[in-house]
Chains A and B, each alone.
Chain A
Amino acid sequence: MIDAAALDELRAVAGEAAVLEHDPMGLDGARLELTIAPTSVEDLAATLGVCASRRLPLLVRGGGSRLGLGNRPRGARAWLSTAALEPVCEVDGDEGVARVGAATPAADLDAAARGAGWRSPFETSNPLSTVGGVLATAASGPRSLGLGPARRAALGLEVALASGDRTRCGSRVVKNVTGYDLVKLYVGSLGTLGVLTEAWLRLRPKPEAERAFAGRVGHEGLALAREAARRSGARAVAIVDGTLASAISEEGEGDLLIVEFAGDEPVVDEAEAWLRTRAGELAEAPDAVGRLHGLQESPSTAALRFRISAPTPHLEAAHSMLRERGAGVITHPGLSQTLAFFDLESADTTGVDAAWRAVHAAVDPTVGAHAILEQAPGWAKDGRDVFDAPAATLPLMRTLKSEFDPAGVLNPGRFVGAL
């Protein structure tokens, strides 16, 4: 139970209606019995201040589409939700930038950007995703090859800190070295340093042409995918192993190659012509990347999903090794990423340990490769760091966390090394 005095104080700063007690909800072993959903950024910052002074640990929640990422939370009993914040979304079509509230659905940003003749820098594969959530996880999908990483899209941020302070960093202009680049620090920090409340984002130009292709390929698929990813205009390139591919592609055997080009018409024409000479059997498939999203993001695809990052030349070896060890594999050569899926036969650690062993065998840290376990049942996370962070990097990160969140109230336990 959260004590009555704390509840009173939270209601006093966030408003009666913003503090909701409910039956316990489970997340990776945590039992959450309270949701605080402030309606303004001021209230949200003040709420954080109260939680820090009372040492009431929180789990930050955006749209709730990706709450499973991270280690088991430590001690959290309340959600701090951005859902009731105003969904600000102002697109400046002259500049190609947008000011967006953290609670704004990524899909709304996309619609507003399109309305102004631009495109969102983010994929909108899940209708629940909020801009705050996309920035906090900095985990992006297949199209980030063409769209660029989230860290490049974020120009400025407003962040509420555990101290209760509202802070800004960066700005709305596209080039800026005024002060430390805290934007980079917050993007991808998984809500452990502060709650993102607003962002200035760089939009992407509207491509003149967009064309996607898919088809089964032989063993040369990986090399072809790597070449395709380096072509001008490549927006998404993936190779899906034959077994996994059957879930999204009815026909054929062998690995499934998905290639999407976007850009000026002549660039896309040229890229398509190149692809046809190299893999004539590929058919135009406008929804190929959509189906790929469905496959790689659906929890029903497999119990465990690892994301492996490695320099491109090493990726192909990792892909093959994981395949041999029975994993379902999707490789994005342009993103230096391989996703590996493992099913679990029983609810004990045997399968999890075997999966980690397979992943470690395929990942060579000396070349800068590493793996994280992105999706797993809570019990499968016990006793390990799902981010598999090298021990040497942790002391500095711990110090940083304790500087920003000395009371340890923001997503405690969730991030690398159970920070």
Chain B
Amino acid sequence: MSGLVDALTAIVGAEGCLSRADEVFPYECDGLSLHAATPGAVVFPRDTSDVVRIVRACAEHGRSFVPRGAGTGLSGGALACDEAVVIECSRMNRVLEVNPEARWARVQPGLVNADLSRAVATHGLFYAPDPSSQLACTIGGNVAENSGGPHTLKYGTTTDHVLGLELVLSSGEVVRLGSACGVAPGYDLVGAVVGSEGTLGVVTEVTVNLEPIPEAIATLLGIFGDVVSACRAVGEIIRSGLVPAALEIMDRRTIEAVEASVYAAGLPRDAGAVLLIELDGPPPALERQRERIRAIAMAQGASRVDVARDADERERFWAARKGAFGAMGRLGPDLYVHDAVVPRAKLPEVIARVCEIGDRYGLKLSNVFHAGDGNLHPNISFDRRNPDELDRVLAAGDEILRTCVDAGGVITGEHGVGTEKRDFMELIFSEADFGAMKRLRRAFDPEQRSNPGKIFPSTRFCTEANPKARGYDRVPLREGEP
């Protein structure tokens, strides 16, 4: 390793390369802290040419590499399997160019999601994909995971907003894919790279399209006695053909945690669930949509539907929604955030089953999720130092995923497969399906040196990442945790 570290240091300087155990420790895991692996080194490139040289140095030393953004991923995607070199993109965080007339921006991958919308707001524009982690996560991470967010119901996920990419292949070759007008001749390679979890190369530049800030916004809060009725209301809204900007559900346990935290927004603590509905567009349309939605919610058992009175109240509702994961810290030292999707009409029966699974395993399970997309996030609060509880968390998670697949769903809607779910991939795909995916992988990365050990079912890589294989005692606690 030391020869490689020397080579990396020569590229990025001593301050841009970490290799001691205590230095690389914070990069052992991402937001899924149950999985961990020690990086061979962590490097901080400043530009594309640094990335090229780093990737080439890795090739010369026969070592893999892992692109990394902010490490907020929830599926172990940024884990350095096989002692890979972590290529940390935080120094590449600039907005390179904005074209307000054509409505696009060209940015570096380390740019924080929320900073992009902030940078283009003066032009009356915004970047639509808004993961709840948007104050920290990066555009590069978003591209790799094809991230969504509450407003993807109307605006689509990251893939619907990326026009072009610059990518450094594991050979060190730089390719530019797509174009600023969103159409380029040949295969849709941009579409193939978005969502590929860093396994096809390092994204070093992203051209995204920007949306005009909506003329008007209406935010509603439907108050329900239970989460199943809230899900039924979502099904009815979808069936009616209405396309709100967002349809998000928080259940009772989530509301309690949020209201006891700094994100408190005055949500009714006695509600079984709230449905946060956002509409945007021209004012005359909003009024009618608001009434139609209110009628649907009331018919499905809402006790009332409140309307955010002003921008402040709207922001409070959203801070509560987006801060919900953080607020869960009150329920236990650890949080397992699940992510699966079912057809929306199946939400009521699946959510009931998910709650039943949580109860049966004696777990603190709460739900805060992108209901309009059928994208569930059952969250389990626990304490990893209790091996029996951890066992139950993992077993419940397994059952939840199988329940979603049985309902016609999939095992991840936005967090990705990473190391977390690669052994569930066979619930969805056949050998032949994996064969097709491997063809794509080989075309970009024939030696599988870009982010090995992800997406595809387990191989020799990363057995250490699995908490079952590692032994619970070795699962590291994050800095600052009890």
Q: Which positions in A face B, CB cutoff 8 Å? A: 92-97, 117-118, 138, 151-152, 159, 161, 163, 165-169, 171-185, 187-189, 193-194, 205-206, 230, 232, 263-267, 269-270, 309-313, 336-337, 367-370, 372, 387-390, 392-394, 396-397, 399-400, 403-404, 415-417
Contact = CB atoms under 8 A, between A and B. Distances in A.
A161 B440 CA distance: 13
A173 B345 contact: no
Given A95-B344, A270-B282, A396-B443, A177 B183 contact: no
B235 A171 contact: no
A13 B448 CA distance: 36
A89 to B, nearest CB: 18
Taking residues whose C-beta sits less than 8 angstroms from the other chain, chain B's interface range is: 35 or more
Interface string B330-350: 000000000001111100000
Contact of A264 (B186, B191, B288, B440): B288
A168 B181 contact: no
22 contacts: A94-B345, A96-B241, A97-B343, A165-B436, A169-B436, A173-B413, A177-B146, A177-B414, A178-B411, A179-B425, A181-B196, A205-B242, A230-B212, A270-B284, A312-B101, A388-B185, A390-B185, A392-B175, A392-B176, A396-B175, A416-B185, A416-B187
A175 B343 contact: no
Contacts of A180: 192, 195-196, 437, 440-441, 455
Interface string B395-425: 0000000000000111111111100010001
Contacts of A92: 343, 345
Nearest to A419: B186
Nearest to B195: A181
Contact of A267 (B145, B156, B282): B282
B14 interface: no
Given A152-B156, A184-B192, A188-B188, 8 more contacts: A175-B157, A181-B146, A181-B159, A182-B440, A193-B187, A232-B215, A264-B285, A368-B180
Interface stretch (B45-53, B113-121, B369-377, B470-478): B369-377
B428 A266 contact: no
B102 interface: yes
B326 interface: no
Nearest to B75: A177
B22 interface: no
Nearest to B102: A311
A28 to B, nearest CB: 18
B241 A159 contact: no
B373 A175 contact: yes
Contacts of A96: 238-239, 241
A166 B99 CA distance: 43
Contacts, number: 240
A265 B425 CA distance: 45
Most buried by B among A389, A392, A400: A400
B382 interface: no
B102 A313 contact: yes
Interface in B97-136: 99, 101-102, 104
Contacts of A263: 285
Contacts of B60: none
Contacts of A267: 281-282, 284-285
A95 B186 contact: no
Given A174-B374, A181-B146, A232-B281, A403 B432 contact: no
B311 interface: no
A403 B455 contact: no
Given A232-B282, A267-B284, A368-B164, A167 B181 contact: no
Interface of B: 99, 101-102, 104, 145-146, 148, 152, 156-157, 159-160, 163-164, 175-177, 179-192, 194-196, 212, 215, 235, 238-239, 241-243, 281-282, 284-285, 287-289, 341-345, 370, 373-375, 408-417, 421, 425, 428-430, 432-433, 435-437, 439-444, 455
A369 B180 CA distance: 8
B184 A176 contact: no
A400 B443 contact: yes
B180 A175 contact: no
A368 B215 CA distance: 30
Nearest to A399: B443
B415 A177 contact: yes
Most buried by A among B191, B242, B409, B413: B191
A393 B288 contact: no
Nearest to B434: A179
Contact of A311 (B180, B184, B215): B180
B186 A393 contact: yes
A309 B416 CA distance: 33
A399 B433 CA distance: 19
A262 to B, nearest CB: 12
Given A173-B374, A269-B284, A403 B442 contact: yes
Contacts of B146: 177, 181
Contacts of A265: 288
Contacts of A310: 181
A163 B417 CA distance: 26
Given A173-B408, A368-B180, A397-B189, A179 B437 contact: yes
B201 to A, nearest CB: 10
Contacts of A187: 188, 191
A313 B101 contact: yes
A95 B343 contact: yes
A76 B436 CA distance: 24
A173 B429 CA distance: 15
A187 B191 CA distance: 10
Contact of A179 (B215, B241, B429): B429
Given A181-B192, A396-B443, A175 B175 contact: no
A317 to B, nearest CB: 13
A113 to B, nearest CB: 11
Contacts of A312: 101-102, 181
Given A171-B410, A232-B282, A416-B186, A177 B195 contact: yes
A316 B277 CA distance: 39
Contacts of A166: 432
A26 to B, nearest CB: 26
